[in-house]
Amino acid sequence: MDIEAFWDLIERSGAEHSTRQARLEWLENELSRRPLEEIVDYQLLYEAAHMRGDSWDMLGAYWLVFSSSIDGFHDGLSWLISLGREPYERVVDQPDLLTTLPQVVAAYATLGSWTDEERPEFERLSYVAWRACKKMGVRDAFADALDDRRPPVSDWLGQKWDCEDWAEAERRLPRTVAFLRAE
Q: Which of the pair, 15 or 151, is modelled with greater confidence?
A: 15
Q: How far is CA 94 from CA 47, 100, 117, in A?
A: 19, 11, 26
Q: What is the pLDDT of residues 60-108, one digit of tens each?
A: 999 999 987 888 999 999 999 999 999 999 999 999 999 999 999 999 9
Backbone angles phi, psi at 46, to 5 degrees: -60, -50
Q: What is the pLDDT of residues 112-121, one digit of tens each?
A: 888 888 889 9
CB 36 within 8 A of CB 141: yes
Q: What is the pLDDT of residues 135-177, one digit of tens each?
A: 999 999 999 999 999 988 878 888 999 989 999 999 999 999 9
Q: Is 40 helix (H, G, I), strand (E, B) or coil?
A: helix
CB 56 within 8 A of CB 158: yes
Q: What is the pLDDT of residue 66?
A: 92
Q: Please provide the distance, in angstroms rounded to a whole number, between the alpha carbons at the two ends of the chain.
A: 43
Q: How far is CA 67 from CA 73, 116, 117, 141, in A?
A: 9, 17, 18, 38
